[in-house]
Amino acid sequence: MTYNIGDKVRGVVTGIQPYGAFVKLDEQTQGLVHISEFKSGVVKDLKSELKVGDQVDVIVLDIDQYNQKISLSIRQVQMEKLKDFPIIKNMNMKRRFWTNYHLDYGFAPIAKLRPEWIHEALNRIK
């Protein structure tokens, strides 16, 4: 297998299933674009978005060397194109965790902690 994770490749759609689309990268290699990696947002039916024979740009997300399976993404290619827009470029793209992972609550009952969580959430909204 000559592909690496992160490679941007052009392929041809060879099949469409309810869970994703199969993309042929070369004569021996085929990968799957899961429906969640097609585009941002909800996709109810891939057949309305893609057709067999369409050429698509994909990024290699994962390679399972044991099973020789490749996971692909069209959504990541679209996100790369958006990075050139000034609005997106200036946005703070850090990952945020909206949990209190730094606090050790243990197995305290949720009902006991609920008022504190509501108070913290309301403070964030303000």
Global pTM reads 0.62
3 is a domain residue: no
For the chain, the domain total comes to 2
Are 36 and 79 within one domain?
yes
Are 14 and 73 within one domain?
yes
Are 41 and 76 within one domain?
yes
Domain around 105 = 96-125
Q: What is the rounded CA–CA span in Å between residue 78 and residue 121?
A: 33
pLDDT per residue as tens, the chain (126 positions): 588 888 899 999 999 999 999 999 988 889 999 998 888 778 888 888 899 999 999 999 988 888 888 999 998 888 877 666 555 444 555 555 455 555 665 666 777 878 888 888 898 887
Are 80 and 113 within one domain?
no
Q: What is the pLDDT of residue 43?
A: 82
Are 64 and 30 within one domain?
yes
Q: What is the rounded CA–CA span in Å between residue 7 and residue 40?
A: 20
Return the CATH number at 77.
Answer: 2.40.50.140
Are 72 and 101 within one domain?
no
28 is a domain residue: yes
Which of 3, 72, 64, 86 shows the shortest CA–CA distance to 33? 72
19 is a domain residue: yes
Q: What is the pLDDT of residue 78?
A: 82
Pair 41, 58: CB distance under 8 Å: no
105 is a domain residue: yes
Are 70 and 101 within one domain?
no
